[in-house]
């Protein structure tokens, strides 16, 4: 893992922006095929596809961005949360419309090719009820919940028929209530909101995770990773569980880590799954680092997961510095009535969530609800009533033609379309321009891909050089662009 100061030179290309190209120079004729270019800006372009020639590389061009030969992390993918609310709305659509939309999101040939999704283990603030898969005391009562049979499984089945390579990151919003105790250890604690995991139930809860993963994988769903608690410092969500780092460390070391190993579970364990600012709880700063410091717990842990409802992506600099061998995922962000401005969100979120995470070794990004309706529904009382989905569907028609696509949809599409699972981030050198960000990757099939962001009010130009080839990119003002080509 490179220090962030070096990553900045790779990521945040910082000199003077170019004026729009005058057109006085003609582009060399291509003899190496075409690159596919996808562009979204703050004006009228929405994931617009175009082609540009792949030319022979000119080593002397001042606008070249070239490869150093150094490589960084591999990338698993990008996607959105398949919440029960999303499933509910999708299942209101006619089957043909639903198929068309899911192909637009997940198909590698007909759509964006999203390959990573987030799934709730049990209910959440965007489900039709509060529930787990074992609501009666005793693990002998563990069973698939009827609401997941009705809503989640049909949608996952349809997604996997379109793209069998999709991987899942899964998170619980609460353990079963009978496994809880009060924050001070008091019993009983029969509430969905708040409470702590009772140490006497650690082994039961570890088996809950094992059984849930086995059931899901038995149905053909690929569980790539689990987090042990969504937002463990959030005590007030409609379904929630307070799990400070001390509790998470003990649970991993004494129960869930050994249980995964004994059962042969390959799904990774990701820590934390909460905000950059640790919800301003001083005792919880450096949450994952405390667990990494314990060798007995750390051996079971692949990395950490992050949200951005508080703090800044720069928090990851310290995590990377102290634990360079551990993975990083961004697992949740939402847009809503409190923050949504298309022109700001399309640029800022792509810079901070996507490029910012990837520059720090991030393996993937998942955002919140794939689909909500025009009433921002369904959601639970006490949950988020102001959130938007990546797409909004009209509750009066539920047709494909009534879908409006928000910024999160386009950002996921840009990354998923050009970066295959297993893509490797490459170090670059050369041309720099203020407000212009560039990351280059090598895909498993040998193709190259680039993610570009132009925050300037004028067009920016650069040449992406890979081996013997060069692709000239002209990025419109205030735009994101993704490019894929063969050398």
Statement: residue 19 has pLDDT above 50 = no
Q: What is the pLDDT of residue 60?
A: 82
Confidence of residue 341 (pLDDT cuts 50, 70, 90): very high
User: DSSP character for 72?
Assistant: E
Is a pLDDT exceeding 90 seen at residue 441? yes
Question: According to the model, what pLDDT value does residue 31 have?
Answer: 56
Region 375-394 average pLDDT: 96
Q: Per mean pLDDT, which range of 18-27, 60-69, 446-455 is the poorest?
A: 18-27
Instruction: Assign residue 69 a region (left: φ > 0; alpha: ψ between -120 and 50; beta: otherwise).
Output: left
The average pLDDT across 7-20 equals: 34
Strand, coil or helix: what is 121? strand
Whether the pLDDT of residue 20 is over 50: the answer is no
* Res. 15: pLDDT tops 80: no
> Do 94 and 49 fall within a single domain?
no
pLDDT score for 280: 98
- Assess whether 297 and 444 both reside in one domain: no
- The per-residue pLDDT for 467 is 87
Number of domains, the chain: 2
| Domain CATH for 153 | 3.20.20.80
Task: Tell the residue number behind the tokens 């540009």, with chain if given.
Answer: 52
Span 175-231, pLDDT tens digits: 999 999 999 999 999 999 999 999 999 999 999 999 999 999 999 999 999 999 999
- Among the residue ranges 19-28, 346-355, 369-378, 400-409, the one predicted with the least confidence is 19-28
21 pLDDT more than 60: no
Tell me the average pLDDT across 416-437: 97
Statement to judge: residues 117 and 260 lie in one domain: yes
Together in a domain, 109 and 209 = yes
Q: Does residue 415 sit in helix, strand or coil?
A: helix
Domain shared by 115 and 47, yes or no: no
Residue 8 has pLDDT above 90, yes or no: no
CATH number at residue 69: 2.60.40.1180
pLDDT value, residue 151: 98
Q: Which pLDDT belongs to residue 13?
A: 34
CB atoms within 10 A of CB 377: 14
**Residue 84 to residue 227: CA distance in whole angstroms:** 18
Q: Which positions ≥6 away from 264 have C-beta within 8 Å?
A: none
360-383 average pLDDT score: 97
Calculated CA dihedral for residues 379, 380, 383, 386, nearest 10 degrees: 30
Distance CA 213, CA 104 (A): 28
Percentage of the chain modeled with pLDDT above 70: 94
When pLDDT is averaged across residues 383-409 and rounded to a whole number, the result is: 97
The pLDDT tens digits of the residues spanning 30-54 come to: 457 999 999 999 999 999 999 999 9
Residue 16 has pLDDT above 80, yes or no: no
**Phi and psi angles of residue 480, each rounded to the nearest 5 degrees, phi first:** -110, 145
The last residue of a domain, from among 402, 418, 434: 418
Residues 31 and 130 in one domain: no
Taking the C-alpha atoms of residue 9 and residue 319, their distance in angstroms, rounded to an integer, is: 19
Mean pLDDT for the chain overall: 94
Kindly state whether residues 375 and 343 are assigned to the same domain. Answer: yes
Q: Which residue among 418, 444, 465 closes a domain?
A: 418
Looking at the predicted structure, is the pLDDT value of residue 1 above 80? Answer: no
Do 64 and 148 belong together in one domain?
no
Q: Are residues 127 and 221 in the same domain?
A: yes
The bridge status of strand 371-373 relative to strand 12-13 is unpaired
Residues 464 and 390 in one domain: no
Domain that holds residue 69: 4-73+424-485
The DSSP secondary-structure symbol of 301 reads -
Return the number of other C-beta atoms located less than 10 Å from residue 396's C-beta: 9
């Amino acid at each position: 893992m490179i220090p962030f100061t070096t990553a900045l030179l790779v990521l945040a290309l910082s000199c003077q922006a170019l004026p729009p190209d005058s057109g006085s120079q003609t582009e060399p004729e291509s003899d190496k095929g075409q690159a596919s270019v996808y562009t979204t800006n703050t004006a009228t372009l929405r994931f617009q596809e175009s082609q540009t020639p792949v030319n022979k590389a000119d080593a002397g061009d001042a606008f070249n961005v070239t490869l150093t030969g150094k490589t960084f992390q591999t990338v698993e993918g990008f996607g959105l949360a398949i919440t029960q609310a999303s499933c509910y709305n999708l299942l209101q659509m006619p089957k043909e419309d639903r198929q068309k939309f899911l192909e637009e999101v997940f198909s590698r040939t007909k759509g964006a090719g999203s390959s990573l999704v987030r799934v709730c283990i049990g209910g959440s603030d965007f489900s039709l009820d509060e529930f787990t898969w074992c609501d009666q005391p005793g693990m002998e009562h563990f069973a698939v919940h009827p609401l997941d049979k009705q809503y989640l499984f049909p949608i996952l089945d349809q997604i996997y028929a379109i793209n069998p390579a999709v991987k899942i990151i899964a998170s619980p919003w609460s353990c079963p209530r009978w496994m809880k105790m009060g924050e001070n250890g008091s019993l009983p604690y029969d509430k969905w909101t708040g409470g702590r995991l009772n140490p006497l139930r650690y082994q039961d809860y570890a088996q809950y995770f094992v059984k849930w993963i086995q059931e899901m994988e038995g149905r053909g769903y690929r569980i790539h990773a689990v987090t042990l608690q969504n937002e463990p410092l959030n005590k007030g969500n409609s379904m929630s569980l307070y799990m400070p780092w001390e509790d998470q460390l003990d649970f991993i070391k004494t129960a869930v880590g050994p249980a995964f190993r004994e059962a042969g579970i390959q799904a990774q364990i990701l820590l934390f799954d909460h905000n950059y600012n640790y919800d301003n709880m001083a005792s919880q700063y450096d949450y994952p680092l405390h667990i990494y410091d314990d060798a007995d717990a750390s051996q079971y842990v692949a990395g950490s997961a992050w949200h951005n409802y508080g703090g800044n992506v720069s928090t990851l600099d310290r995590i990377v510095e102290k634990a360079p061998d551990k993975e990083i995922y961004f697992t949740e962000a939402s847009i809503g009535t409190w923050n949504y401005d298309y022109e700001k969100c399309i640029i800022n979120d792509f810079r901070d969530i996507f490029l910012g995470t990837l520059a720090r070794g991030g393996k993937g990004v998942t955002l919140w609800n794939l689909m909500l309706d025009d009433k921002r529904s369904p959601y639970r009382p006490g949950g988020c009533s102001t959130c938007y989905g990546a797409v909004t569907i009209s509750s009066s028609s539920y047709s494909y033609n009534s879908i409006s696509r928000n910024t999160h949809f386009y950002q996921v599409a840009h990354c998923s379309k050009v970066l295959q699972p297993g893509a490797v981030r490459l170090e670059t050198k050369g041309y720099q321009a203020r407000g212009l960000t560039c990351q280059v990757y090598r895909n498993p099939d040998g193709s190259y891909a680039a993610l570009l962001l132009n925050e300037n009010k004028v067009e920016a130009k650069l040449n992406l050089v890979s081996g013997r080839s060069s692709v000239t990119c002209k990025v419109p003002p205030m735009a994101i662009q993704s490019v894929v080509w063969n050398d």
